[in-house]
Amino acid sequence: MQIFHDVAELLFPQRCLGCGALGQELCPTCGASWTLRRYVTGKDDLIVHSAIAYSPIAGRIVLASKENGIRSADALILDALSYSLCSFSSQVSEGISLIPIPSRSHSTRRRGRDFLREITAELGHRENLVLKNILFHTRGIKDQSTLGARSRFENLHCALSAANVVGRGRRVVLVDDLVTTGATLREAARALRCAGFEVAGAITACVALPLR
């Protein structure tokens, strides 16, 4: 699938990922909405470090990566995650593993890839950290985008499990593209702790402020 995207990017002139204007990958206006800053949310049991305040423009950039596989959008998400990981700099050690939140299987089929897994693998390569794909869904869940906080909690309650692999007890950091209510990350942390992992925290590219 990626080859089609690469050819498309060669054939069609560069457009802004945020607004579609011809010219740069990010026009000055959209670039101002994709400014890397340090955001820390969550509670004591799960602190979340993020780099970009979610906005309609940020949403279009995330979708360009997630749904359309546009490499330049992937690179922006990767940079944002790297920045978020830097917030952990005092805690991150060589022994830490990155754990991407799994996509629903039909989303992966539709997109032709597990976008977050790919980007987390790149991040691991860049930061010399191990990637573990050990989280999986134990049942079907609904699309969360239109659900409120309470519905998200019910939708996700015990919906994830962690594979029992070598390395139990090692410290892990969760990775996701966006934190909205924190329900997905908390469910992932619960599943990992049940399997004996120590969850040091989570990183996301974007954060929807204030958390719902």
Q: Return residues touching Zn ion (CB under 5 A).
A: 16, 18-19, 27, 30
Residue closer to Zn ion by CB (options 62, 123) is: 62
For Zn ion, give the closer residue by CB, 20 or 196: 20
C-alpha separations of 16 from 55, 56, 60, 137, 208 in Å: 15, 14, 10, 35, 22
CB nearer Zn ion, residue 52 or residue 160? 52
CB of 63 vs Zn ion, minimal distance in Å: 14
Q: CB neighbours (10 Å) of residue 6?
A: 13
Least CB distance to Zn ion at residue 18 (A): 4
Whether the Cβ atoms of residue 75 and residue 108 lie closer than 8 Å to each other: no
Q: Which is nearer to Zn ion, 15 or 170 (CB)?
A: 15
Q: Which residues of 127-166 are buried (b: 16+ CB within 10 A; e: fewer)?
A: eebebbebbeeeeebeebeebeeeebeebbeebbbbeeee
Closest separation in Å from C-beta 27 to Zn ion = 3
Residues in the chain: 212
In this complex, which beta carbon is closest to Zn ion, that of residue 57 or of residue 172?
Answer: 57
Taking the complex as a whole, the smallest distance from the CB of residue 22 to Zn ion amounts, in Å, to 10
Q: Are 185 and 46 in contact (CB under 8 A)?
A: yes
Closest approach of Zn ion to the CB of residue 78, in Å: 20
- Looking at beta carbons only, is 30 or 101 nearer to Zn ion? 30
Q: How far is the CB of 26 from Zn ion (least distance, A)?
A: 6
The DSSP call for residue 37 is -
What are residue 176's DSSP bridge partners?
Answer: 204
Measure the CA–CA gap between 122 and 131, rounded to whole angstroms: 9
> For residues 64 and 82, what is the distance between their CA atoms, to the nearest angstrom?
19
